[in-house]
Copies of this chain bind each other. A is one copy, B any other.
Amino acid sequence: MVFSASQIALLINGNVDGNPEAAVQSFGKIEEAGEGQLSFLANPKYEEYLYSTKATIVIVNDSLELKQAVTATLIKVKDAYSAFATLLGKYQEFRQQQLKGIQQPVFIAATASYADDIYLGAFAYVGEQVKIGNGSKIYPGVYLGDNVTIGNNVTLHPGVKVLHSCQIGNNVTVHAGTVIGSDGFGFAPQADGSFSKVPQIGNVIVEDDVEIGANSTIDRATIGSTIIRKGAKLDNLIQIAHNVEIGNSTVVAAQAGISGSTKIGKGVMIGGQAGIVGHLQIGDGAKINAQSGVSKNLEPGKAVTGSPAHEYTSALRSQALSRKLPDLERRIKELEQLILQLKPTIE
């Protein structure tokens, strides 16, 4: 797709300064962009690159006063950064909208139903009683088990697996390779040391506006539902165990893991590689630092770090002091020697 400076100016409500026919077909950072690329300048720190950039078009702030000649065509807007972001969004949307129709081969069970305008990629599997809403994009190799429901405007990237009876809301995006609805890890120890499986017959409910990264795993509930609530954002390689609930607009960074039946509140921030043990309550707005190990309930707004995790500020102090331990030990040794010298006076 090729766009001209005048077309872009129209999309972002800007004014062209240079050649209105200048054409671009991709995006680049101002310091790296080449011919045929569109870039932007928002941070004055990078202004020097404007005079040497090879980008064909650059979006700049209205307020910018040029100090040298530029070869690129400029598009002037009120806020260059947000205009650029808007443009990227429109571009992605446009790319997505082109995806339509059913590629071959696919497997669609007789009782499945789906809107007319969906995209269903080759090698996708659609089980019995599956329902797929308007405008959803099901990429190649996706698996939808029996009785799965997919809302409107959902994007399931290649190789996503949604297992039987799970429900996906509207405007949900799931990245490649993620598994939704694998069995919870439930085994009852037997007298002989072996384990007997506890059947996992619940499901997973993913509410509207959720985004889930690549190769993550979300286990179905033993009974009832594992729930990812509206607007939550999960990164790659995350483990969500059975019967967990993740609150509205909570953000979970890559490789974090949440154990069974733990309930996470709204607007919680969970750092990368953090772990949370089972059956806890994490209050709204809590902040859990990367690599923390949370083993107790957290009150709303509480910030913690460390493994085991403790209140952020005091944990940082303890961490700092633990690096001073060699010094503390030396001071104790000195005190012991001084005391030894003093001791005779009390005998």
Contacts and interface: CB of A to CB of B under 8 A. Distances in A.
A160 B173 CA distance: 19
Interface string A35-56: 0000000000000000000000
Contact of A318 (B254, B307, B322): B322
Nearest to A197: B211
Contact of A346 (B175, B188, B235, B341): B341
Interface string A137-160: 001110101000000000001110
A267 interface: yes
A207 interface: no
Interface residues of A, number: 105
A314 interface: yes
A140 to B, nearest CB: 4
Interface stretch (A2-10, A67-75, A110-118, A217-225): A217-225
A235 B241 CA distance: 10
A125 B107 contact: no
Nearest first, the 4 A-B pairs at minimum CB distance are A88-B199, A182-B214, A321-B325, A107-B122
6 contacts: A85-B199, A125-B158, A159-B159, A317-B325, A332-B332, A342-B343
